[in-house]
Amino acid sequence: MARLDFYITMRSPYSYLAADRVVALAERAGVELHLRPVYPIALRDPGFFEKGDPAKLAYLRRDAERVAAMERIPFGWPDPDPVLQDLDTGRVADDQPHIRHLSHLVAAACLTGRGVVVYLALARLLFAGGPSWAEPDRLDTALASCGSDPAQFRSQTAALAPDREALLQTNADALRAAGHWGTPSLGYRGEVFFGQDRIDMCAWFMGLRSVRPSPDG
């Protein structure tokens, strides 16, 4: 079966905003959806935002809000931000417990064959506009909502410590080799499509029409 690679990070609002459409695309195309989590660019390249225009972060935040409104997707910014970062300067803290924990959970899910469903549950927890994802039991509730036993899942995650870190690095290397660095990116038959606004282009490349519903349903 052909495979559609879906590169995501647990900090990327665009990964969340793309997710349901990517799942629908894979189903329509009859291909295997291969979730490939990586660390956010803020960790892979800590100076990325400091080197860029100071307006970049503010623009990206507003743009994500507009995309959510246009696509009618529930949206709110995660509280706390999974990446500890000064949004005015772009400077990233050295210690990053939140994003490492979230990334490890999804990496472990991928290693146990449940990557997509666990990612969808956690992404909705982070970005769908609910209470703080860091409140007691919120992560466990999200894991349970997708059919995972939270205690068992955490035990598996701990047991997979070396493998989950290796998977994140392997995926980052594969994304670079495919020709990009950002998320969300889709990889299919040697082509890479970066951004939630390139899903329709990927569908076209796969020989499909748009993944958007027609105006008359």
Distance (Å) of CA 108 to CA 86, 136, 165: 29, 21, 9
The token pair that represents 110 in the structure block: 């991928």
CA distance 182 to 159: 29
CA distance 188 to 186: 7
CA distance 132 to 126: 8
Q: Identify the active-site residue in 12, 15, 148, 185.
A: 12
Task: Identify the CA nearest to 180 among candidates 61, 6, 29, 26.
Answer: 6
Tokens 């994140």, residue? 168
Distance (Å) of CA 62 to CA 58, 68, 76, 146: 6, 10, 11, 30
Q: Which alpha helices (H) appear in the chain, and where do they start and end?
A: 13-29, 41-44, 48-51, 56-71, 97-111, 115-127, 138-145, 150-159, 161-178, 199-205
185 is an active site residue: no
CA distance 19 to 27: 12
CA distance 74 to 17: 9
Give the residue numbers annotated as catalytic, written as ranges.
12
